[in-house]
Amino acid sequence: MFRIGIIGTENSHAMAFSRNINLPDPVIGDIPYSDVRVVGVYGPDIESARIIKAETGADFIAKSVEEFHGKVDAMMITSRKGSVHSEYAMPFIEKGMPLFIDKPFTSDVTEAEKLILAAQKSGSKLCGGSSCRRAYDVLMLQNSVRNLRASGDIISASMNFAADPDSEYDGFYFYASHLVEMALTVFGHDVRSIICVEKDGSRLCIWRYDDIDVSLHFTKDNYNSSAVIYAKSGNIMRNIDMSLVYQHEVAQFVHMLRTGEMLEPYENLVLPVRMIAAVEESAVKRTEVRV
């Protein structure tokens, strides 16, 4: 049995993950993972921790992060602020424990790099980031772009999702990770440069690849997401359905626990943080930023 602890119960993700792991599947009626269980949670918002414990059957509410040591086999860090992820995650990484670290992985590139170096040293396996990149529609778009690129048919593309530069949870970092990670999944990691402009809290960014430019719209207060791919053979338009992304994210974490296999390299956790930092720099300096 893999005993899991969760830090960051103020985030709705903590409840979603606890339900997906501990409670019967609403369709088939069975517990989805007989060998995995969320046993302990930590706030620091005590009321949200009490609700998760009551609804999902976790064994205990930790009074401190240190209380998890010796009681769990793996951790999930779900705190809304990426700026606290490093301090919460590092003690468990240094012990070689497997971790899920929610989006944003961190709110600082240097902190992200330090976590990765520690994980490589200890052998800690990591996964996490945005759940949105695991949406079925995102994977369909990824496949379409690959095929269009192979045939030389693609012209450009556009995608949107919400983000707020003034969020109380580390500003732009809190939600920007969703669109950044979806775009990296669909269009690839080899972005050459970024140009960004901001108006009324929304940001329009151009990601420049060798073959195409992609416009990303960080739309404040609009939580719907869609994409358009422009090709010589015709446009592809798709709304992105997020309804099963938590289940997919939990499945990847459980796979890592069972097999010890990371489905993605460590750098894939750091890259979105680098990209968000580049978008921020371009928005502030009002200039093109090399990636």
**Residue 233 identity (one-letter amino acid):** S
Tokens of 146: 């690959």
Q: What percent of the chain has pLDDT over 90?
A: 96
The H-or-E segment that residue 276 falls in is helix 267-285
CB–CB of 131/246 below 8 Å?
yes
Which residue ranges form the domains of the chain, and what is each CATH number? 2-131+245-263 (3.40.50.720), 133-242+274-290 (3.30.360.10)
Distance of CA 122 to the CA centre of its chain: 23
pLDDT attached to residue 25: 84
Instruction: Report d(CA 149, CA 147) in Å as an integer.
Output: 5
Cα–Cα distance measured from residue 244 to residue 80, given in angstroms and rounded to the nearest whole number: 20
* Residue 29: per-residue pLDDT: 78
pTM of the predicted model, to two decimals? Answer: 0.95
Q: pLDDT tens digits for the chain (291 residues)?
A: 999 999 999 999 999 999 999 999 877 778 999 999 999 999 888 999 999 999 999 999 999 999 999 999 999 999 999 999 999 999 999 999 999 999 999 999 999 999 999 999 999 999 999 999 999 999 999 999 999 999 999 999 999 999 999 999 999 999 999 999 999 999 999 999 999 999 999 999 999 999 999 999 999 999 999 999 999 999 999 999 999 999 999 999 999 999 999 999 999 999 999 999 999 999 999 999 999
Residue 163, SS3 per DSSP: coil
